[in-house]
Amino acid sequence: MREIKFRAWDKKNKIMFNEIQNIYDGGDFFDNENNKLDIYGSSLNSESFGFNLDNEGIEIMQYTGLKDKNGKEIYEGDIVRYFEGFIEEVKWNNYLCGFTPFVSYEDGLEPEYLEVIGNIYEPELLESEK
């Protein structure tokens, strides 16, 4: 069974929150450097996960259920490199009913050929890859 997880980008404070699906359980939240965050100082709503779906201050991204060749979880909004240097954003495709680039190829693109090199909200991660 595929694991259902979400993360959120706080647009105002420019912080990534991981595993926000557990927010109503009173869990702690961490940024990409694993620093514990004070959610009351952010755009993230601590009432429940559902309140954040319509929260204009954050962007919700779903886990694809896949990991890259290094074992890193792949989320919507991630930037992946594959094959001979192709770079693409991971996003949901309604027409193909799946995440691109996985469903955008005839036989699909296997995650073991992908490497997460950053995400669309933290461009400095991409700069360090150059």
pLDDT by position in tens, the chain (length 130): 678 899 999 998 888 888 888 777 666 677 667 777 777 778 888 777 888 888 889 999 999 988 899 999 999 999 998 877 788 899 888 887 878 777 655 555 677 788 999 999 986 555 555 4
* Cis omega (within 30 of 0) for bond into 123: no
Question: Can you point out the beta strands (E) in 68-121?
Answer: 73-75, 78-82, 86-89, 91-93, 98-100, 114-119
Task: Write the CA distances from 103 to 3, 45, 110, 111, 122, integer angstroms.
Answer: 19, 33, 10, 11, 25
Q: How many CA atoms lie within 13 A of 87 on its CB side?
A: 12
Q: Among 3.90.870.10, 2.30.30.290, 3.90.1720.10, 3.40.50.280, what is the CATH number of 66-127?
A: 2.30.30.290
| Rounded CA Rg of the chain | 15
Q: So what's the pLDDT on residue 27?
A: 62
CA 41 to chain centre: 21
Q: So what's the pLDDT on residue 107?
A: 54
Q: What are the structural domain ranges in the chain?
A: 6-58, 66-127
Q: So what's the pLDDT on residue 40?
A: 73
Q: So what's the pLDDT on residue 45?
A: 80
